[in-house]
Structure 1
Amino acid sequence: MAPNVLSRTIRMSRCLTVATALLTLVALKAYIEWTAEEDERFPSPRWAAWPSSSVTPLQPSTNALPPFVLQNFNASIQQLRQSIPRAKAYWNDKQHRLFQALEQGVEHNTSWNQCSGPGSEERVSRIQDFDSYSELYKNFVLYDSCRNFPLLINQPGKCSGGTNRTFLLLAIKSLPGNFAARQSVRDTWGREGAPGGLAVRTVFLLGTGLGRYGPRLQRLVEYESRMSRDILMWDFEDTFFNLTLKDYLFLSWTLEHCPDVQYILKGDDDVFINTPKVLDYLRSLEAHKPLYTGQVMANASPFRVRKSKYYVPESYYVGPYPAYAGGGGYIFSGPLTRWLHHISQHVAFYPIDDVYTGLCFQALGIQPEAHPGFQTFDIAEKDREDPCVHSKLLLVHRRSPEQTLRLWKQITNPDLKC
């Protein structure tokens, strides 16, 4: 190709890229404004399709450590310690050092504020095959003591509005570019309100980008946040291995801005949640009993297949996993937040976020309760479009925004016959 032709081709390609980006921004702005106009032109009760309830919301309970946890704390820590093999594997060695520090009376690990970077030779020297690790794994090891990141977008009044204490907080993990997924959640099961006097609030948990070559979507997300007021965004790379960090930062945010929440549902932005069914279930529970429930993984072990995103090298960790609820979606008691945050000071970050949560709950002496209504590995293919099947479940994983909108309309239709 001649140089002048090649130059024109490159310029045209660049112009097309810029034009596409501008059109995407304009379309997003128009869609959000159109949605806001539709709400103004056709106002309706936000939870009109939800069943009413005569149940009186529980009064705010004390934030003291539940007696069950307090009585078993030392024993559960020792049980966790014994379940983790002493080995030269990086995480095992690091965790046993933390146990030793705890035994010596070190209440909080101050090293979390000492964020190590690529020059951390001592850290790398503990892993003989460190050079064989993927870039994601290398970065996780090099920065796994970094826990303080700026909160760029906040919703400080999320749980303070209205007269009712927040009964259920939907904390949804999302990526910056997942605009359509978040909007479908807002339009369906994540819509905020107070059905039967039980206040439901929603926040989306985001980092800033996807690696050094990913698009920086912060400005778009800031605009979205001004319209929806449900975004929490921290200044860290939003990668799979940083989901543990996202969980930790969310616990810190909850302690400061939503300390009296009664229940928290953590989930992904591609799950379908039958929120009325969830509320019915939570209303039926014994008050103040510690809760950690979902689809439970028991007797699980690390994946050793390199192609799997759940791959864990033997030089990094050896041993079984604790029983844990699948990260696609699970529920836990709000008053446990401060104790999860406390114990996480003594549990080293692990690259699989739901495994890490299971480790923290085990350290508190709380075992996950299996609930058949959670299907984080999806359901039979023949049932994926069946509203009657979904109307009986609490949560199912992997639904597109279009499927979510269609299923929600169907299961909230009072004329649905199952």
Structure 2
Amino acid sequence: MGPNAARKLRAPRCLTVATALLTLVALKAYIEWTAEQDERFPTPRWMSWQSSFITAAQPSTNALPPFVLQNFNASLQQLRQSVPRAKAYWNDKQHQIFRALDQGLDGNISWSKCSGPGTEEKVSKIQDFSLYPELYKNFVLYDGCRDFPLLIHQPSKCSRGTNRTFLLLAIKSRPGNFAARQSVRDTWGREGAPGGLAVRTVFLLGTGSGRYGPRLQHLVEYESQSFGDILMWDFEDTFFNLTLKDYLFLSWTLEHCQEVRYILKGDDDVFINTPKVLDYLGSLEAHKPLYTGQVMANASPFRVRKSKYYVPESYYVGPYPAYAGGGGYIFSGPLARWLHQVSRHIAFYPIDDVYTGLCFQALGIPPEAHPGFQTFDIAEKDREDPCVHSKLLLVHRRSPEQTLRLWKQITNPDLKC
């Protein structure tokens, strides 16, 4: 703990005013959200599965969210203490944002202008920049770009039907993954309202798949017309742009799905036991903020250049915060507003689930480990066992064929385990 740890933390005037206003807006929305009761309807006949969900605990209108203004400011300061001061590019950039906040400036000034490859200042700060992989170079050069047009839209996704969206499945996909998306639609991602709980699904896509990748936008547009579940933004859909995809999804959620109760973020190659997820969420206190999955604790950057998760020492130094693995995790819908707000004060990081962990750390909400999330798969002997899968919430990874077969097996009423 630093020498200033004992001092009383004071937020800069501008941040305090801004977050106070956001607190009032969020609190108003929260109370309105909790004051209404969910409508209950029988499970539609066309649904091939049913949840054993009985009645979700209703949130109390007298319970205030624990992430109120004082906790928000204190948690942001705690994040500041946890980020090592170093010459590494990301560390230096983040501390520049903190200093801007100290001076009463808006913390998002570092990306107020979207700069491109001609930004020599960025390159000069990284001595070995020329040795970076091409995708890493592009991420650094464009890490201030956060505003991209939404090419394929679903503005009424969360307002369809008579039931408010209880669970929104936000599935990260890529344009060419047609078979994966269809297997999700045919199984655990099927929309409906089992037990009166509305489940909605959106797939999150960029446009291209690299400089020489095929442009599949027209095919995806046709797919969207058929199923109405595609969100596509005009940016290159690469691994390092998953953080950008998360940010843009939060922006969409705040505009078009504000009243969603829970959000499950996952990849299009996971297998989700949706009835089990609904049972679990229905057992929770609805007013308690949730961030759960398979928790990565005491993790550090990979320094092996061949690794998908490679992070150069000149880019970032220090440990990672505890975070839920990006293959699949769940968080409370009302937290989307706060995640979006705090992300304006945290520089983009190329590993999306680590970045989400940073944002939750800034909100003072630690991840909760749940054994039902297996984002690194399970034992080889259990990979085809429907009884094992019937007890899990989420497992990574499964092919479209495996997903279809496992879903048919676990939803079979004659399955004996």
Does TM, scored on the shorter chain, surpass 0.5? yes
* Cα deviation, residue 384, structure 1: 0.1
Question: Contact 2:409–2:415 (CA<8 Å) still a contact in 1?
Answer: yes
Question: Secondary structure of 1:346's partner?
Answer: coil
The unaligned stretches of length 5 or more in structure 2 are 1-43
Amino acid at match of 2:50: W
* Cα deviation, residue 100, structure 1: 1.3
* Cα deviation, residue 45, structure 1: 2.5
2:113 aligned with 1:128: no
* Pairwise CA RMSD: 1.7
Equivalent in the alignment of 2:353:
354
Question: Contact 1:69–1:366 (CA<8 Å) still a contact in 2?
Answer: no
Distance 1:394 1:310, change over 3 A: same
* Cα deviation, residue 54, structure 1: 3.9
Distance in 2 (CA, whole Å) between partners of 1:283 and 1:366 is 20
Question: Contact 1:56–1:197 (CA<8 Å) still a contact in 2?
Answer: no
Question: Secondary structure of 1:159's partner?
Answer: helix
Distance in 2 (CA, whole Å) between partners of 1:51 and 1:132 is 52
Distance 1:60 1:180, change over 3 A: farther
* Cα deviation, residue 367, structure 1: 0.1
* Cα deviation, residue 68, structure 1: 3.6
Equivalent in the alignment of 2:77:
78
Distance in 2 (CA, whole Å) between partners of 1:110 and 1:299 is 31
Amino acid at match of 2:394: L
TM-score (norm 1): 0.87
Equivalent in the alignment of 2:302:
303
2:286 aligned with 1:260: no
Deviations 1:312-371 (A, max 9, x none): 000000000000000000000000000000000000000000000000000000000000
Q: What does 1:33-44 correspond to in 2, within 5 Å? A: none
Higher alpha-carbon deviation: 130-139 or 99-108: 99-108
Aligned pair count reads: 374
Distance in 1 (CA, whole Å) between partners of 2:132 and 2:319 is 21
Amino acid at match of 2:218: R
Equivalent in the alignment of 1:337:
336
Question: Contact 1:203–1:232 (CA<8 Å) still a contact in 2?
Answer: yes
Amino acid at match of 2:247: Y
Question: Contact 1:113–1:147 (CA<8 Å) still a contact in 2?
Answer: no
Amino acid at match of 1:360: C
Equivalent in the alignment of 1:211:
210
Amino acid at match of 1:301: S
Amino acid at match of 2:405: R
Equivalent in the alignment of 2:28:
none
Structure ID, larger Rg: 1
Equivalent in the alignment of 2:316:
317
Distance in 2 (CA, whole Å) between partners of 1:56 and 1:315 is 48
Distance in 2 (CA, whole Å) between partners of 1:225 and 1:367 is 36
Question: Contact 1:166–1:262 (CA<8 Å) still a contact in 2?
Answer: yes
Distance in 2 (CA, whole Å) between partners of 1:158 and 1:402 is 27
Equivalent in the alignment of 1:116:
115
Distance in 2 (CA, whole Å) between partners of 1:291 and 1:303 is 28
Equivalent in the alignment of 2:39:
none
* Cα deviation, residue 211, structure 1: 1.4
Deviations 1:282-336 (A, max 9, x none): 0000121010000000000000000001000000000000000000000000000
Amino acid at match of 2:113: Q
Deviations 1:256-290 (A, max 9, x none): 00000000000000000000000000000012101
2:222 aligned with 1:223: yes
* Cα deviation, residue 75, structure 1: 1.8
* Cα deviation, residue 55, structure 1: 1.6
Identical positions, percent? 84
Question: Secondary structure of 1:350's partner?
Answer: coil
Distance 1:53 1:370, change over 3 A: closer
Distance in 1 (CA, whole Å) between partners of 2:257 and 2:107 is 23
Equivalent in the alignment of 1:49:
49
Amino acid at match of 2:404: L
Deviations 1:188-218 (A, max 9, x none): 0000000000000000000001111000000
Distance 1:47 1:60, change over 3 A: farther
Question: Secondary structure of 2:204's partner?
Answer: strand
TM-score (norm 2): 0.87
* Cα deviation, residue 56, structure 1: 5.9
2:170 aligned with 1:171: yes
Question: Secondary structure of 1:358's partner?
Answer: helix
Deviations 1:175-194 (A, max 9, x none): 10000000000000000000
Question: Contact 2:175–2:217 (CA<8 Å) still a contact in 1?
Answer: yes
* Cα deviation, residue 107, structure 1: 3.9
Question: Contact 1:53–1:197 (CA<8 Å) still a contact in 2?
Answer: no
Distance 1:409 1:360, change over 3 A: same
Amino acid at match of 2:264: L
Distance 1:404 1:57, change over 3 A: same
Question: Contact 2:79–2:361 (CA<8 Å) still a contact in 1?
Answer: yes
Distance in 1 (CA, whole Å) between partners of 2:192 and 2:61 is 22
* Cα deviation, residue 69, structure 1: 4.3
Q: What does 1:279-290 correspond to in 2, within 5 Å? A: 279-290=278-289
Q: What does 1:264-283 correspond to in 2, within 5 Å? A: 264-283=263-282
Amino acid at match of 1:50: Q
Deviations 1:44-100 (A, max 9, x none): 8232421354426857979x9823443422221111111110000000000001111
Amino acid at match of 2:55: V
Equivalent in the alignment of 2:101:
102
Question: Contact 2:49–2:275 (CA<8 Å) still a contact in 1?
Answer: no
Question: Contact 2:98–2:107 (CA<8 Å) still a contact in 1?
Answer: no
Larger helix percent: 1
Distance in 2 (CA, whole Å) between partners of 1:223 and 1:45 is 28
Question: Contact 2:53–2:279 (CA<8 Å) still a contact in 1?
Answer: no
Higher alpha-carbon deviation: 213-222 or 74-83: 74-83
* Cα deviation, residue 162, structure 1: 1.5
